[in-house]
Amino acid sequence: MIDRLLTKGSITLTEAGKEPRTYGPGRGKHVKARFTDAKVPFEILKNPRLGFGEAYMDGRIVLEEGTILDLLEIVMGSNPWEEGRTARKVLNRGMSRMKRLFARNDTKRARRNVAHHYDLGDELYETFLDSDRQYSCAYFTSPDNELEQAQWEKKAHIASKLYLQPGQRVLDIGSGWGGLAIYLYQAAKVDVLGITLSEDQLRVARRRAEEAGVSDHVKFELIDYRVLQGEFDRIVSVGMFEHVGLEYYDEFFAACRRLLKRDGVMLLHTIGKFGISKKPDPFTDKWIFPGYHLPSLSQMCSASENAKLIVSDLETLRLHYAYTLRHWLDRVNENRAKIEAMYDARFFRMWEFYLAGGIVMFESGGGCNYQVQYIRDRRALPITRDYMMEAEKRLRVKPAATKKKGPAQTRRASSKQKETA
Q: How far apart are CA 303 and CA 305, in angstroms?
A: 5
Q: What CATH number should be reported for the domain holding residue 20? A: 3.30.1050
What's the domain range around 196? 107-410
Predicted TM-score of the model (pTM): 0.85
Q: Which three-class secondary structure state does DSSP give residue 18?
A: coil
Residue 421 falls inside a structural domain:
no
pLDDT value of position 405: 43
Q: State the DSSP H helix or E strand holding residue 193, giving kind and residue range, or none if neither.
A: strand 191-196
Q: What CATH number should be reported for the domain holding residue 293? A: 3.40.50.150
Q: Does residue 150 sit in the same domain as residue 282?
A: yes
Residue 419: burial class (beta carbons within 10 Å; 0-12, 13-18, 19+) = exposed
CA nearest neighbour of 225 among 372, 111, 376, 120: 111
Q: Does residue 223 sit in the same domain as residue 360?
A: yes
Q: How far apart are CA 343 and CA 351, in angstroms?
A: 11
Q: Does residue 173 sit in the same domain as residue 76?
A: no
pLDDT value of position 5: 83
Among residues 43, 62, 97, the one where a domain terminates is 97
pLDDT value of position 416: 40
Q: How far is residue 318 from each of residues 87, 157, 162, 386, 394, measured CA to CA in Å? A: 23, 15, 21, 23, 25
Residue 34 falls inside a structural domain:
yes
Q: How far apart are CA 189 and CA 187, in angstroms?
A: 6
Among residues 63, 97, 131, the one where a domain terminates is 97
Q: Report H helices in 163-296.
A: 179-188, 199-211, 249-259, 282-287
Instruction: Give the residue ranges of the chain where pLDDT is below 70.
Output: 85-121, 400-421
Among residues 97, 115, 140, the one where a domain terminates is 97
Q: Does residue 93 sit in the same domain as residue 164?
A: no
Q: Does residue 33 sit in the same domain as residue 144?
A: no
For residue 106, the one-letter residue type is: D
Domain count, the chain: 2
Q: Report the phi/psi class of residue 175: left, alpha or beta, with left for phi > 0 and alpha for psi in -120 to 50.
A: alpha
Residues 274-301 pLDDT 10s: 998 988 889 999 999 888 999 999 999 9
Whether the CB-CB separation of 103 and 308 falls below 8 Å is answered with no
Whether the CB-CB separation of 369 and 139 falls below 8 Å is answered with no
pLDDT value of position 117: 52
Residues 148-201 pLDDT 10s: 999 999 999 999 999 999 999 999 999 999 999 999 999 999 999 999 999 999
pLDDT value of position 120: 67
Residue 61 falls inside a structural domain:
yes
The 10 Å Cβ neighbour count of residue 173 is 25
